[in-house]
Structure 1
Amino acid sequence: MTDTPELIGHDCIASYLRTLDNSPGVYRMLDARQAVLYVGKARNLKKRVSNYAKPTGHSPRIARMIRETASMMFLTTRTETEALLLEQNLIKQLKPKFNVLLRDDKSFPNILVTGDHGYPQIKKHRGAKKEKGHYYGPFASAGAVNRTLTQLQRVFLLRNCSDSMFESRTRPCLLYQIKRCSGPCVGKISEEDYTGLVKDAEQFLQGKTTKVQSQLAREMEKASEDMEFERAAALRDRIRALTHVQGGQGINPQGVAEADVIALHMEGGQACVQVFFIRANQNWGNRDFYPRTGAGADASEVLQAFIGQFYDTKDPPYTILLSDEIEDADLMAEALSEKIGRKVRIEVPQRGEKKDLVAGALRNARESLGRKMSETATQGRLLDGLAEAFDLEAAPERIEVYDNSHIQGAHAVGAMIVAGPEGYVKNQYRKFNIRGDELTPGDDFGMMKEVLNRRFKRLLKEDPDRSKGLWPDLLLIDGGAGQVSAVAAIMREHGVEDIAMVGVAKGIDRDAGKEEFHRVGKQPFALRHNDPVLYFVQRLRDEAHRFAIGTHRAKRSKAVSATPLDDVPGVGATRKRALLAHFGSAKAVGRADLGDLKAVEGISEGLAEKIYDYFHEKG
């Protein structure tokens, strides 16, 4: 569409009406700088846009959005369902300020019982379900999965070791000694009996715990009658463990086999969405989310946007139970049903067990938001104190803290963490692999220069007009006057001289609590020992240090486990494992002849030739 910069607000929107028809589709509202203000979908584009063209009858939020609108863009679709899916994709991609936005969209872990081995492994799995086997989940957190896996090991004695470890063992591991594994790797259990354990574990994960317990009781009684007292005692221990597991699961729904329970609580312009995962009549944990409310959206819009974005990368269950009605419930159910290939129901229960489940989720949402608002208020006071201590014009909205990590210059990395009014912004953390070939090993000055150079070059490229909120209000640097001067010089080179910057240096005896703060052109100073702002800065610095150390360790670990196979074109992690399992080492792979390489499972004739040529050409 052609922009009409001379028109703005209602007049601008009205100018598009003559070009629109009654098709379903998605529209975008843009401001004078072409930044997207809002993405919406419509069953009838012309009718929806004509509503915005009216000068009255809008909520304060919509009225503000209309006043800022300087142009619009449109995409027509075949159906309204397609429009709904496209709308949610664009919202996640463009992050318009007047839309509701789900800010935390991580994947959830599952339990996988592998299906490509005679003695299946049970393990935690996150991400795409590409491995063969049966998946159970999702679980709300890694902690929930780990607790369940520990319970399953106690009751069903399934292995959790990798296939390569399984093949290489010659005697039982510690888990066998403490009765957490049946020892299939060294023949302590037959494949038939182990298969029975796997079947029982999968029945447990399917919610058939009573059936499993009855079966174990019958087996214990028979073993006792056959005078197999050791086996009877082992079965007794498993029954006790299963009873303990059931007692520790809390209250589980009897009439709801599979559902996500989603409840929303809004207060003071903020929102908390609580999601409980019910699978196999068991509560597999809950997670809270704090979506951005799009400058004042109502509960119906917040919940609808949350559902659309939440299930964009996740499979929905058979039933979704909501605390509030949403505007397009039938349309959303249709879209989710098409995505998963089976019927999905969306309900707002009014009575019975389902209503109780929603009430419990709503109570958790209300309590979580209360805690979040309290933490935010405390964070606000700390940011105000920081502004006062460092003579800033206002409380910083975005603080960036930098640190380096290395061992005598090896595997050097730089790290940046971000904090703001709501605490740490972990999806904005960044790591920098130090590339400078001319740097002296252990040159912290040089490493900091490289990190800040790369950071500001990227900022100037990605957000030159500072409209995306990526620019910091305050930089905290680990170091004293020298580091501060070096960073100030870098900022001047890039034409950036309006960002406050403070160096945090250890004081006398390098003791925590005696930090000195350095600023360009000013005398260093310290805060009193019990000042909350001092503790706040220490926590920020410690978080940066933690992130830098973790990044460094990951880089070092990767380097230690690297092999020449990493550089062979076409050899990824799976084929690398297959080659190492077959030949024992990368060196043996390099010495192997073409026929032996072709014999490895998963290695095609063409890839075998590439591997052979790679090692022999290098030699």
Structure 2
Amino acid sequence: MTELERKVAGLPLSPGVYLMKDARGNVLYVGKAVSLKKRVQSYFSAAPKAVKVAALVRRVRDLEVIVAASELDALILENTLIKKYRPPYNVDLKDDKNYPYVRLQESRKYPRLEIVRRRRQDGALYFGPYPSVGALRETLALLQKHFRLRRCSDRQFANRTRPCLNYQMKLCQGPCCREVDPVEYRRRVDQVVMFLRGRGQQVVDSLTAEMTSLAADQRFEAAARRRDTIFALQKILATQEVDSAAGDDLDVVGLAGDENQGFALYLLTIRGGRVVGGRPFAFPRFAGYAGELITAFLQSYYDEASVPPPVVLIPQAAGSHDLLEQWLASLRKRKVSLLTPLRGRRAVLLNMANDNARAFFRQQQQDAADLQQVLAALGRKTGMKRVPAVIECVDISNLQGDFPVASLVCFVNGRPFKDGYRRYRLDDIAGPDDFAMMAAVMERRFGPGNEREKPDMLLVDGGKGQISAVSRVLDRLQVEIAVVAIAKGRDQRGKKSKTAVDRFFIRGRKNPLAVHPHSGAYLLLQQIRDEAHRFAVSYHRQRRRKDLTESALLDVPGVGPVRARRLLEHFGSLQGVRQAGLESLENCPFLDRGTASRVFHYFRS
């Protein structure tokens, strides 16, 4: 009996959470169970298993369990551990940061609307997430235009001495520099909040009553402004109409796929009887069944997104159905019902979500098949004996040798794999020596002590010189992988040109490969190179900005690296430190009065 088998045999019958790990101790899957022993034993039984589950079990080498006091405690603990470890076989909504929210700080006297990418526990109101940032910007621009809320940041608002261009264009009331009735401003904020919560028709009714009253008082200009706002809001509402029960607040989850092919979900968001959003989610590696996926998805989504609505429609019963309702109710502070309607208007909505999920799933399947064909063609073109399923790409970024950094991005089956991304500082390389920097990255990526699995192919941004630098290190480390260099195309004068065709070189071959510029392999390698370049440049700019900002403060007598960082954290930026008054600086707990005075006068000398 192996050590793993002994652990499984000795598990308790209590509720709890189990963590499945691979040979390196990486967490592959986190699950919960009413009975730990029965649940975990089911994975290792001889009964037939779904493809994804069988793939998971083959990789499991160790097991850790945490006994919980109740099944609800196990549900909450499972969600916490999934967020902590982000296992590959669980639901992972990490990329939700790509979907925007609208944030409004109600505690401000004159709050503003802003688009953010992450929802924080800071007491502000959040609306979303929204599927399209473009459509969201258009909607907010319209709301800003007609309700005239301020757009400037809090720092700009606090330091402005005269109204900005938005005030001159009558897009803002100018509360930064003139008296604006806070009660009237708050009334407008409340109308915007009501609209964003899906109560658009109530806002229209309220504005209509205001328009009628203003017209009766012969205040025709103000009444005309209300009329224009009503028309604009009605235009938005007309595009959101759906045949739903009047005034319903619903989230509708559609499902497609199965345990062997993976799953896709589609979330339809309905507020006030109107569609306000729809989003697809792909789960190609989820190692569980449909009911478990629904539970895991709702846990992950509502833990990060807005407060759940009173009703969530689901295509079938979720795992731990009653406990999940209880947990959702704890987030909403009121009852939440999980329903699977079979007839009526709600059944129509559920069918709509299922249709969208099926369409998205078919597209995902087709895209995956197309990418496999592209990868197979790439493998043949570069002389590989297998399909390059895992491709890593390295790019260098520096400014004449200053602030040198490198990026490494990873693509799995033709798609970005963010867990495989790495960034490197290359401070020990003197001068702008790309070859030495590339060699240093190879040492750190493939040298002794690095236990990460090797890719099938390594792509480097450059030409034959970069390939030679990389090959020397790989030969010395006895690493056998395919290496491809992608060099920018050149015009007839030999200068780099964006319109010229890129050239590709492979390890051990003098002449460039013949790759058609419109082929899938060409476009995929370009995409990977561009992603590595983006990642490297963003890190280089971040590092340069940080170093230059800190160095400006280090010129102040009595300010060292620690105080410089604390000043930047306290005031938010170098501009914030520059604009800080003497009293604000003296109130900093980490500055004495003398140093505060020197900082204040340094930026005014």
Partner residue of 1:521?
Answer: 508
Taking structure 1 as reference, are residues 191 and 584 closer, same or farther at Cα in structure 2, changes over 3 Å only? farther
Instruction: State whether residues 88 and 309 of structure 1, in contact with CA within 8 Å, keep that contact through their aligned partners in structure 2.
Output: yes
Q: How far off is 1:576 after superposition?
A: 0.5
Taking structure 1 as reference, are residues 278 and 569 closer, same or farther at Cα in structure 2, changes over 3 Å only? farther
Partner residue of 2:481?
Answer: 499
Taking structure 1 as reference, are residues 197 and 423 closer, same or farther at Cα in structure 2, changes over 3 Å only? same
Whichever residue aligns with residue 195 of structure 1, its letter is R
SS of equivalent to 1:185: coil
**1:575 maps to which of 559, 570, 585:** 570
Instruction: State whether residues 103 and 290 of structure 1, in contact with CA within 8 Å, keep that contact through their aligned partners in structure 2.
Output: no
Instruction: State whether residues 293 and 302 of structure 1, in contact with CA within 8 Å, keep that contact through their aligned partners in structure 2.
Output: no
Taking structure 1 as reference, are residues 144 and 479 closer, same or farther at Cα in structure 2, changes over 3 Å only? same
SS of equivalent to 2:514: coil
Taking structure 1 as reference, are residues 498 and 310 closer, same or farther at Cα in structure 2, changes over 3 Å only? farther
Partner residue of 2:150?
Answer: 159
CA RMSD between the two structures: 3.8
Instruction: State whether residues 294 and 319 of structure 2, in contact with CA within 8 Å, keep that contact through their aligned partners in structure 1.
Output: no
Instruction: State whether residues 505 and 513 of structure 2, in contact with CA within 8 Å, keep that contact through their aligned partners in structure 1.
Output: no
Q: How far off is 1:125 after superposition?
A: 3.4
Q: How far off is 1:387 after superposition?
A: 0.5
**1:463 maps to which of 441, 451, 467:** 451
Partner residue of 2:212?
Answer: 221
Instruction: State whether residues 154 and 241 of structure 1, in contact with CA within 8 Å, keep that contact through their aligned partners in structure 2.
Output: no
Q: How far off is 1:266 after superposition?
A: 0.4
Taking structure 1 as reference, are residues 496 and 189 closer, same or farther at Cα in structure 2, changes over 3 Å only? farther
Residue 115 (str. 1) matches residue 106 (str. 2): yes
Quote the Cα distance in structure 2 between the aligned partners of 1:576 and 1:182: 27
Structure 1 stretch 200-209 or stretch 394-403: which is displaced more? 200-209
Partner residue of 1:197?
Answer: 188
Whichever residue aligns with residue 579 of structure 2, its letter is S
Instruction: State whether residues 312 and 336 of structure 2, in contact with CA within 8 Å, keep that contact through their aligned partners in structure 1.
Output: yes
Runs of 5+ consecutive residues of structure 2 not aligned to the other structure: 554-558
Quote the Cα distance in structure 2 between the aligned partners of 1:421 and 1:60: 18
Q: How far off is 1:542 after superposition?
A: 2.9
**2:528 maps to which of 540, 545, 564:** 540
**2:393 maps to which of 401, 407, 413:** 401
SS of equivalent to 1:22: coil
Q: How far off is 1:388 after superposition?
A: 0.8
Whichever residue aligns with residue 520 of structure 1, its letter is R
Q: How far off is 1:397 after superposition?
A: 1.2
SS of equivalent to 1:404: strand
SS of equivalent to 1:393: coil
Q: How far off is 1:378 after superposition?
A: 1.6
Whichever residue aligns with residue 369 of structure 1, its letter is F
Instruction: State whether residues 32 and 70 of structure 1, in contact with CA within 8 Å, keep that contact through their aligned partners in structure 2.
Output: yes
Q: How far off is 1:252 after superposition?
A: 7.5
Deviations 1:4-55 (A, max 9, x none): 43x78xxx36x854x4443222345567776666544322234445656754
Quote the Cα distance in structure 2 between the aligned partners of 1:242 and 1:116: 26
Quote the Cα distance in structure 1 between the aligned partners of 2:37 and 2:121: 44
What TM-score do the two structures reach when normalised by structure 1? 0.82
Deviations 1:59-114 (A, max 9, x none): 676667667766644332111122233334445555666x4433645345432222
Taking structure 1 as reference, are residues 234 and 91 closer, same or farther at Cα in structure 2, changes over 3 Å only? closer
Quote the Cα distance in structure 2 between the aligned partners of 1:475 and 1:67: 27
Q: How far off is 1:130 after superposition?
A: 4.6
Deviations 1:568-595 (A, max 9, x none): 27847673059966x8536xx6xx4xx6
Number of equivalences: 586
SS of equivalent to 2:166: helix
Partner residue of 1:484?
Answer: 467
**2:437 maps to which of 447, 472, 483:** 447
Q: How far off is 1:540 after superposition?
A: 2.7
Deviations 1:207-240 (A, max 9, x none): 3333332332333334334443332332222222
Q: How far off is 1:363 after superposition?
A: 1.4
Instruction: State whether residues 182 and 188 of structure 1, in contact with CA within 8 Å, keep that contact through their aligned partners in structure 2.
Output: no
Q: How far off is 1:205 after superposition?
A: 2.4
**1:269 maps to which of 236, 250, 261:** 261
Quote the Cα distance in structure 2 between the aligned partners of 1:282 and 1:130: 28
Q: How far off is 1:477 after superposition?
A: 0.8
Instruction: State whether residues 401 and 476 of structure 1, in contact with CA within 8 Å, keep that contact through their aligned partners in structure 2.
Output: yes
Partner residue of 1:244?
Answer: 235
Structure 1 stretch 520-529 or stretch 553-562: which is displaced more? 553-562
**2:346 maps to which of 332, 346, 354:** 354
Deviations 1:340-392 (A, max 9, x none): 65433222222333222222221111111222222212211111111011111
Quote the Cα distance in structure 1 between the aligned partners of 2:196 and 2:594: 43
Structure 1 stretch 515-524 or stretch 251-260: which is displaced more? 251-260
Whichever residue aligns with residue 441 of structure 2, its letter is V
Instruction: State whether residues 404 and 448 of structure 1, in contact with CA within 8 Å, keep that contact through their aligned partners in structure 2.
Output: yes
Q: How far off is 1:567 after superposition?
A: 4.4
Q: How far off is 1:128 after superposition?
A: 4.7
Identity within the alignment, %? 31
Taking structure 1 as reference, are residues 478 and 257 closer, same or farther at Cα in structure 2, changes over 3 Å only? same
Residue 585 (str. 1) matches residue 567 (str. 2): no
Instruction: State whether residues 407 and 536 of structure 2, in contact with CA within 8 Å, keep that contact through their aligned partners in structure 1.
Output: yes
Q: How far off is 1:308 after superposition?
A: 3.4
**1:417 maps to which of 398, 409, 419:** 409
Quote the Cα distance in structure 1 between the aligned partners of 2:229 and 2:377: 57
Partner residue of 2:71?
Answer: 80
Residue 363 (str. 1) matches residue 346 (str. 2): no
Instruction: State whether residues 516 and 524 of structure 1, in contact with CA within 8 Å, keep that contact through their aligned partners in structure 2.
Output: no
Quote the Cα distance in structure 2 between the aligned partners of 1:252 and 1:614: 66
Whichever residue aligns with residue 283 of structure 1, its letter is V
Whichever residue aligns with residue 478 of structure 1, its letter is D
SS of equivalent to 1:417: strand
Taking structure 1 as reference, are residues 218 and 201 closer, same or farther at Cα in structure 2, changes over 3 Å only? same
Q: How does 1:70-149 map to 2 (within 5 A)?
A: 72-91=63-82, 93=84, 99-102=89-92, 104-107=94-97, 109-149=100-140
Taking structure 1 as reference, are residues 610 and 371 closer, same or farther at Cα in structure 2, changes over 3 Å only? farther
Instruction: State whether residues 515 and 526 of structure 1, in contact with CA within 8 Å, keep that contact through their aligned partners in structure 2.
Output: no
Quote the Cα distance in structure 2 between the aligned partners of 1:173 and 1:544: 39
